[in-house]
Amino acid sequence: MKLQKLKPLTNEYLESIGFVWHTDEDETSYISDEIIQVSEDEANAYYEATNELYDMFCEAGDYVIENNLFHEINIPFNLVNLIKESWENDVHWHLYSRFDLAGGIDGKPIKLIEFNADTPTAVFETAIIQWAMLKANNLDEASQFNNLYDALKDNFKRIITMEDDIEKFEEFYKDLGWKILFSSIASSSEDINTTKLLQHIATEAGFNTDFEYIDKVQFNDQGIYKDDINFEFWFKLIPWENIAIDESELALILEDIIANKKAIVFNPAYTLMFQSKGFMKILWDLYPNHPLLLETSFEPLVGKKQVEKRCFGREGANVAIINSDNSLDMKTDGDYEGFKAIYQEYVELPTDENGASYQAGVFYAYEACALGFRKGGKILNNMSKFVGHIIK
């Protein structure tokens, strides 16, 4: 693994473009001043692996629904009908997602760690910041595997055409006044500005857009509203499992809205299947020993170093690394203990000379479209750093 030192972007510049979560609680920069040198072959391998993985997830999604395996992967019961409805009707387009991967830059094979299919983070960092870092250091900003901004813009158009050909949107649909309401919680500047970036991209794509905090959006059996204006589409940067558990009444209303075709929600409810880490056990059953997968089970693995995770844990919370002799390597606490546990074969992440670990994140929007990295300890958490890349 090769690292290249860069002059960092100033906090003033970052704030001027809306990136205000640039400094962590310990007063260190969240954006690394080093980038990873990636070869063209390595970038292509990430692209091919991610596309193959997405196809596998779609095949496995059919299997879960046909065999009613929602309970096995810890899906809340009050979202099952929503998931089925969104899966069976093609208008519920998967807008974007991010695969977390080990290997790929260290001569070791790429392995799936998990799939952030519902509310993936690091959109701003991947689409804007790492590109700006190259430009500010007089490097070729095109020398990246990074088409996330344009891929999102094109995918917004596909939610209307439902086809590969986005030119049909420009020719037939652009001026029809389609409306998307974008929502986040009010307490997170990262969520707010990430949502507003996506809103900006949708506006550029040709939609009429607006923003409202989730607690102020109006829902009824006729649709989704802001100030009595009805929106055909709603983008929410709120996890589906949070809606199911904390807002069960809203889950029922959304089920009615979607079943009666009053509005379409992004990301669709079926992405919660993909988001569940239990889904990787289904993948292992369907594709045993696949080179992109790690052995995963609902029971502890025998005689193997492994990672215990929760089906809907986030930011490295409630994770334990367990040695092959069943002794504990390390463990994190968190708020996700109530979710079902899975056990995944342990894989070493690429490390630098200081022992820091690096995990690749590849975004998928119709196809694999962008690469970025996170840097941290053995268990990456909300203090992990974002690391850009350059293709050399």
Q: What is the pLDDT of residues 25-83, one digit of tens each?
A: 889 999 999 999 999 999 999 999 999 999 999 999 999 999 999 999 999 999 999 99
Residue 201's nearest CA partner among 153, 167, 257, 142 is 153
Is the dihedral angle over the CA atoms 216, 247, 252, 279 positive or is it negative? positive
Is the dihedral angle over the CA atoms 168, 169, 170, 171 positive or is it negative? positive
Q: Specify the amino acid at residue 157.
A: K
For the chain, percent of residues with pLDDT exceeding 90: 90
- Band the pLDDT of 171: cuts 50, 70, 90: low
Burial class of residue 85 (count of CB atoms within 10 Å of its CB; 0-12, 13-18, 19+)? middle
Give residue-wise pLDDT tens across range 304-342.
999 999 999 988 999 999 999 999 999 999 999 999 999
Q: What is the pLDDT, as a whole number, of residue 287?
A: 98
Task: Tell me the DSSP string of 267-284.
Answer: S-TTHHHHHSTTHHHHHH
Q: What is the pLDDT, as a whole number, of residue 172?
A: 67
Residue identified by tokens 């919680």 is 185
Least confident of 113-117, 244-248, 305-309, 381-385: 381-385
Instruction: Strand 368-376: give its sheet, edge to edge.
Output: 2-5, 31-38, 385-391, 368-376, 357-364, 97-102, 111-116
Number of Cβ within a 10 Å radius of residue 89? 13
- Band the pLDDT of 173: cuts 50, 70, 90: low
Q: What is the pLDDT, as a whole number, of residue 166?
A: 79
Q: Specify the amino acid at residue 201.
A: I
The pLDDT mean for the chain works out to 95
Structure tokens at 164: 């590969």
| Residues 283-290, mean pLDDT to the nearest whole number | 98
Separation between Cα atoms, residue 365 and residue 98, nearest integer Å? 9
Q: Which residues pair with 358 in a beta bridge?
A: 375
Q: What is the pLDDT, as a whole number, of residue 176?
A: 75
Question: Nearest 5°: phi and psi at 175?
Answer: -100, 20
Q: How far is CA 292 from CA 41, 45, 54, 122, 351, in A?
A: 17, 11, 11, 23, 20
Please report, in angstroms and rounded to a whole number, the separation of the first and last CA atoms in the chain. 12
Separation between Cα atoms, residue 32 and residue 383, nearest integer Å? 12
Question: What is the reported pTM?
Answer: 0.96
Q: What is the pLDDT, as a whole number, of residue 177?
A: 79
| Residues 255-282, mean pLDDT to the nearest whole number | 96
Separation between Cα atoms, residue 48 and residue 52, nearest integer Å? 6
Residue 361 host element (H or E)? strand 357-364
Residue identified by tokens 């070493």 is 348
Q: What is the pLDDT, as a whole number, of residue 161?
A: 80
Give residue-wise pLDDT tens across range 96-155.
999 999 999 989 999 999 999 999 999 999 999 999 999 999 999 899 999 999 999 999
